[in-house]
Amino acid sequence: MSAQAKQHGSGDGDRPQGRKWLGIHFRCCNVYGRLYRDDAGQTYRGQCPRCAAKISVPIGQGGTSRRFFEAS
């Protein structure tokens, strides 16, 4: 494994230290993007990279550990 791959969190148990995000498949334009956690840590917010449709996902107790979702 290269040092570059380890730096980007590809190694066993390694996690990047950057902002928390969710992966989203935007069905409106059939593209993938990311939603990033807001400063208050209560919502993931973002928009479709192609048509700019906005989306927000609240963070709550009893949520899911899934990191990838679809949005229409």
Could you give the number of structural domains in the chain? 1
Residue 27 included in any domain: yes
Residue 14 included in any domain: no
Residue 10 included in any domain: no
Name the residue range of residue 43's domain.
Answer: 19-71
CA dist list (Å): 57 to 5, 14, 49, 54, 66: 30, 26, 17, 10, 13
pLDDT at site 2 = 41
One-letter amino acid identity for 34? R
Owner of token pair 């989203």 = 24
pTM assigned to the model: 0.69
C-beta neighbour count of 14 within 10 angstroms: 13
Residue 64 included in any domain: yes
pLDDT by position in tens, the chain (length 72): 444 433 333 444 555 578 899 999 999 999 999 999 999 999 999 999 999 999 999 999 988 889 999 998
pLDDT at site 9 = 39
pLDDT at site 1 = 41
